[in-house]
């Protein structure tokens, strides 16, 4: 079994450990937020971690009702002075598999030296460079991806960011629904593995589009990135209805569309599925509906969560698994994508 395959299929074991670690840290989290001058939260990351930062920033704005930002670590490093006013009185939240990516490490050093900015670190590595700089450090070594491509640690980071906010906001409903999502996870994977293989092996699609709204925007963008890295196919993320505003011209019979529908609306999303199929695309819908009311080619039902953000936890398995099985079907080794390093060290 490839490392990537193992890490995707066993990610819920890691999620349970991460959940328990975050719950153990509840009092420390509450004390940190209570004792920190918090005007805003600024999430930083590189690559996949930056995509997750977008979801986390929107979740924080919704749940804590404060100003939030998501900045690519490389952007912050190169253009630090442009962001100085944003960083004043903020708390940086750094998400990193290795904790050693140069752009993030150097940006945090600048922020602490020039502005005395506190930092929260979420990392899948132990005793990393960022951990040495952080004021509050979370380490999840059981979530570390040995493969170059990030999969298991992505889901863990997404969930850990949600839990950090839920604990800070005393949102017990969110914590409970995350617990439910983890409990259902292994069964969800086993049920849907054959469907993911069928999607990957059937049809002649050779490019992918991932659509999602709200707090799922970052995790869905990461889902699109999985196709680039694992199956080495072109892919893009867009907000659901926004795909009509330009990108639709490139959707055709060679396109796989994975779409997460919002439970808040049906008509416009159903019409979009019809339009995409009329363009020849193969459409996969992930939704809280028990039946395929969308008339999609494939429908992947997930549990109905009051907190839409929790849907991101089961959802991410879909693009991860489809890209994995597409790679295996086309003879690509998913563990060693050409030219991709697990993390970047600048000279």
Co-location of 12 and 147 in the same domain = yes
Based on the domain organization, do 154 and 215 belong to the same domain? no
Residues 166 and 190 reside in one and the same domain: no
Q: Is residue 313 part of a domain?
A: yes
Determine the pLDDT at residue 144: 95
User: Domain span at residue 152?
Assistant: 3-170
Q: Which residues of the chain have pLDDT under 50?
A: 343
Pair (158, 194) in one structural domain: no
| Domain assignment present for 195 | yes
Could you tell me if 158 and 253 lie in one domain? no
Q: Residue 48 is part of a domain; what is its CATH number?
A: 3.40.50.10490
Q: Please tell me the total count of domains within the chain.
A: 2
pLDDT at site 339: 57
Report the pLDDT value the prediction gives residue 87, as an integer from 0 to 100: 94
| pLDDT at res. 244 | 96
Q: Is residue 222 part of a domain?
A: yes
Clarify whether residues 163 and 193 are in a common domain: no
Q: Please give the pLDDT value at position 127.
A: 85
163 and 233 in a single domain? The answer is no
- Residue 115 shares a structural domain with residue 227: no
Q: Do 206 and 72 belong to one domain?
A: no
pLDDT attached to residue 38: 84
Task: Say if 141 falls within a structural domain.
Answer: yes
Nearest Cα to 309, choosing from 183, 196, 177?
177
Based on its alpha-carbon atoms, the radius of gyration of the chain, rounded to whole angstroms, reads: 19
């Amino acid at each position: 079994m490839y490392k990537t395959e193992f890490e995707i299929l066993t990610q819920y074991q890691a999620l349970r450990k991460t959940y328990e670690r975050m719950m153990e840290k509840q009092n420390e989290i509450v004390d940190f937020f209570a004792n920190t001058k918090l005007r805003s939260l600024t999430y930083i990351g590189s690559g996949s971690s930056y995509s997750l930062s977008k979801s986390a920033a929107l979740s924080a704005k919704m749940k804590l009702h404060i100003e939030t930002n998501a900045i690519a670590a490389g952007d912050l490093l190169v253009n630090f002075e442009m962001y100085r006013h944003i960083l004043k009185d903020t708390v940086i939240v750094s998400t990193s598999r290795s904790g050693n990516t140069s752009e993030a490490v150097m940006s945090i050093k600048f922020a602490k030296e020039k502005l005395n900015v506190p930092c929260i670190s979420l990392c899948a590595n132990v005793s990393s460079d960022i951990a040495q700089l952080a004021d509050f450090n979370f380490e999840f070594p059981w979530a570390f991806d040995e493969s170059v491509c990030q999969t298991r640690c992505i889901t863990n980071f997404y969930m850990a960011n949600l839990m950090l906010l839920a604990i800070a906001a005393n949102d017990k409903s969110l914590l409970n629904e995350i617990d439910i999502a983890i409990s259902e996870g292994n069964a969800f994977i086993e049920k849907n593995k054959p469907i993911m293989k069928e999607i990957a092996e059937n049809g002649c699609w050779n490019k992918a589009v991932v659509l999602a709204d709200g707090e799922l925007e970052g995790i869905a963008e990461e889902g699109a990135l999985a196709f680039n890295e694992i199956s080495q196919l072109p892919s893009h993320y867009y907000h659901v209805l926004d795909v009509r505003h330009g990108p639709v011209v490139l959707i055709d019979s060679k396109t796989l569309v994975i779409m997460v529908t919002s439970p808040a609306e049906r008509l416009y999303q159903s019409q979009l599925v019809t339009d995409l199929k009329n363009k020849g695309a193969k459409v996969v819908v992930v939704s809280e509906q028990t039946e395929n009311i969308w008339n999609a080619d494939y429908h992947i039902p997930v549990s109905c969560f009051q907190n839409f953000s929790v849907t991101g936890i089961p959802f991410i398995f879909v693009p991860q698994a489809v890209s994995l099985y597409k790679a295996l079907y086309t003879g690509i080794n998913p563990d060693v994508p050409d030219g991709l390093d697990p993390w970047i060290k600048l000279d």
